[in-house]
Amino acid sequence: MGESVKPEVHSFKTLRDASLALAERIVETARVAIEEHGQYTMALSGGKTPELLYSLLASEFSERMAWNSIHLFWVDERFVPQDHPDSNFRMAYHAWISKVPIPRQNIHRIPTETETPEEAARSYEKNLKEFFDPPDNKSIPAFDAILLGVGTDGHTASLFPGSRVLGEKSRWVVSVEAPPSVFPKKRITLTLPLINNSREVFFFAFGDEKKNVLRAIFEEPEKAKKVYPAAMVKARERLLWYVEKRT
């Protein structure tokens, strides 16, 4: 399944146009998922790129979202308190969640009040298992959608090039150390098996500094897969890229 999904690339002149298009897509896929199976589960990225998207989902798109049936998760988190300026939860909370009538129990943030990032990862994996309740406590669940960003080094979520967690087969969530140039260092991330089982994956990448890595991913995907975690991502049904138009 995941193997054969071809990426679809949508390019836009401005971040606002891309954010509007992606918001429209999210509203529509959420509507269909809720109609089909009663809920929409989406895992969010941090970084700066999705902030405008989040604020659009909190404003002009809000009335079209069935908030009671929407569950929000995170693809990764920095190991900082939830009100720290570097917290991915905090960004989404301020831009989006605090402004919409989503029930509290539908917000599934990665807990960072644990003693160590490893405990946070285990605790989040446990929370995911309780939520998705797989029959044998093992089979990998499918999020309806996962939103991912891309770093200039080709990382996505907190999966960095060369990291041993890229080979993870059984854990759903792990703790990682980012490379020396990336801050904050201590992080918690979903693993590739879980990400790759998502029905739909949205990549959202804007900015000139990302153009080389994006070119490598689109033009030489097989080569890129060996190096860039973003190129290793698959989806069960659709893999959509929202990127800047190059002239």
* Residues at the interface with ligand 6PG (CB under 6 A): 45-49, 76, 78, 88, 149-151, 155-158
Burial class (CB in 10 A: 0-12, 13-18, 19+), 112: buried
Query: Residue for token digits 């990336």?
Result: 182
Work out how close the CB of 4 gets to ligand 6PG at its nearest, in angstroms, rounded to a whole number.
25
Measured CA distances, 161 to 1, 60, 142 (Å): 25, 37, 24
Q: Which is nearer to ligand 6PG, 102 or 229 (CB)?
A: 229
Closest to ligand 6PG by CB, 34 vs 216, is: 216
Distance in Å, CB of 101 to ligand 6PG, minimum: 26
Helix (H, G, I), strand (E, B) or coil at 80: coil
The smaller minimum CB distance to ligand 6PG, of residues 109 and 155, is found at 155
Between 71 and 78, whose beta carbon lies closer to ligand 6PG?
78
CB nearer to ligand 6PG: give 88 or 191. Answer: 88
Task: Say how far apart CA 155 and CA 163 lie, in whole Å.
Answer: 10
CB of 38 to ligand 6PG, least distance (A): 28
In the β-sheet with 145-148, what is the strand arrangement from edge to edge? 7-12, 238-244, 200-205, 145-148, 40-44, 70-74
Q: Comparing C-alpha atoms, which of 66, 46, 163 is closest to residue 112?
A: 46
